[in-house]
Structure 1
Amino acid sequence: MGNARVRATNRGRSSDHDRAGSQGRVSDVGLVAIEPLHDLTSSSVGELVAESERLGLRLVRRLADEWATGANRFDRPGEILFGAFIDGRLVGVGGLNIDPYAGDERVGRLRHLYVLSAFRRMGVGRQLVERVMKAAHGRFDDVRLRTNDAAAARLYEKLGFRRDIGRDDYTHVANLAPELRS
C-alpha cells in the first residue's frame, strides 16, 4: 500500500511526450516505500539535513538533534516517524507527534515533513502525509501543522487540511473526528 512508481525527467516532471522519449529522458527511479523509522542516525538522514540547511531550513537538523538527544523519538502513544525510500535511499521524512502546544493528547501534530528537492512533485510528500494521517485516525481528533512555505501549504490543503489564520502555534488543521464536535 505504501508503494508507488515514481518517474522523473531532466525537468523534474513527466509528460506523455517525455515518455515517448522525444524530449528529456525519463529515468525510472523505482518504487517509493513509506516505512516507519525506528532508528535515526546522522548518516541515514545526513543528505536530508545537508540539503535542507543549504536551503535555509532547520527542520531536518532539529529532527536529527532531537532524536539524538532523546528529546523527540516519536515514541509516545500514537506517535510515529516515517521515511520515504526509493531504491533503498532515504528521500523524505515526516512524522506524527502529540501536539506539544495543544495541551490535549487527542491533538496530533504533523512534523518535520521534508522531501529532497530532486524527488518533489512526484507524490512522495503526498504519500508521507497520507501515511501520517492514516496513523492518526482513531488516535487523534485533530492534526495540526505549521508551515511558512506556500507550496507546502497548497499540498496540505489538497490533502484536507484547512488554513487556520491567526494562530501562533499552527497554520493548518485537519479534523479527523467531526462527529465528536458540537
Structure 2
Amino acid sequence: MRSAHPIRVALVRALPPAFAELAADALADSQKMLDVLREDWESGTQRFDAPGEALFAAYAGDALLGLGGLTRDPYLEDAAGRVRRLYVRRAARGHGAGRALLAAITEGAAEAGWPRLRVRAPASAFLFYERCGFLRAVGERAATHVRPLRRSLADPAPSATGLRA
C-alpha cells in the first residue's frame, strides 16, 4: 500500500469510520484484537479515556492504516503503561505506520508519566518491537516486551494532566 501521502498519526476519541474494514483485515490475518477492541468499546469496558490512556490512528491521506492504544497495565500492581491492540493493515506494513503508531503511544506514555511501557506481542511481532527500542521481558508477568521510559520509578501514578487535559 504505497501512498503519495505521508503517514500521520492522530489521537482519536471514537472508532474511525473505516474501523470495520481494518477489523476485517485483522480477522483475515487471524488477529481478533480489533474485534475485542470493538466489543470493549461498545460495552464501555475500554474507551481509552482514563488518565494516561489514549487511542491513536495512523492515516495516509484519508486511508486508515492502523490503530493502537495506550492503557494502564492491568496486570501489574505498580504503575506502567501498556500497548493495546496495535494493528496495521497488512498492505501497509513495512512503510512506517506501525513505527509511527508506536512512537505516538510511547510519547503519550512518557507525557502521561508512566515509568515503563509493556506489551504482550505475538512472536511474529517480536522483531518489530525490538527494533523500536523494546527489550524482551524477563521475569515480567503477562508481557513479552518492556520499554523503560525516562522518569523516576519513585512516582507510581500517571499525571492527571497527561493526554486528557
TM-score in terms of structure 1 length: 0.78
Number of the residue aligned with 2:133: 160
Q: Which runs of 4+ in 1 moved over 3 A?
A: 165-168, 177-181
Do structure 1's residue 84 and structure 2's residue 58 form an aligned pair?
A: yes
Q: CA deviation at 1:167?
A: 4.1
Structure 2 unaligned spans of 5+: 155-165
How high is the sequence identity, in percent, across the aligned residues?
34
Q: How does 1:18-167 map to 2 (within 5 A)?
A: 28-40=3-15, 43-104=17-78, 106-138=79-111, 139-150=113-124, 152-165=125-138, 167=140
Give the superposition deviation at 1:149.
Answer: 3.0
C-alpha separation between the residues in 2 aligned to 1:70 and 1:116? Answer: 25
Aligned equivalents of 2:14, 2:153: Cα separation in 1: 35
Q: CA deviation at 1:179?
A: 5.2
TM-score (norm 2): 0.85
Q: CA deviation at 1:59?
A: 0.6
**Does the residue aligned with 1:29 lie in a helix, a strand or coil?**
coil
Structure 1: which 5+ runs fail to align? 1-6, 9-27
Q: Following the alignment from structure 1 to structure 2, what is the Cα–Cα distance between the partners of residues 92 and 79?
A: 17
- Provide the residue aligned with 1:175 in structure 2: 148
Counterpart-to-counterpart distance in 2, 1:57 and 1:77: 28
Q: What amino acid is the match of 2:143?
A: Y
Matches of 2:86 and 2:153, distance apart in 1: 28
Aligned residues: 153
Aligned Cα root-mean-square deviation (Å): 1.8
Question: SS of the counterpart of 1:30?
Answer: coil
Q: Give the residue type in structure 1 aligned to 2:49.
A: D
Distance across 1 between alignment mates of 2:150 and 2:7? 29
CA positional deviation for 1:156: 0.9
Q: Which structure is richer in relative contact order (CA contacts within 8 A, separation 6 or more)?
A: 2
Query: Offset at 1:158?
Result: 1.3
The residue identity in structure 2 corresponding to 1:31 is P
In structure 2, the residue matched to 1:20 is: none
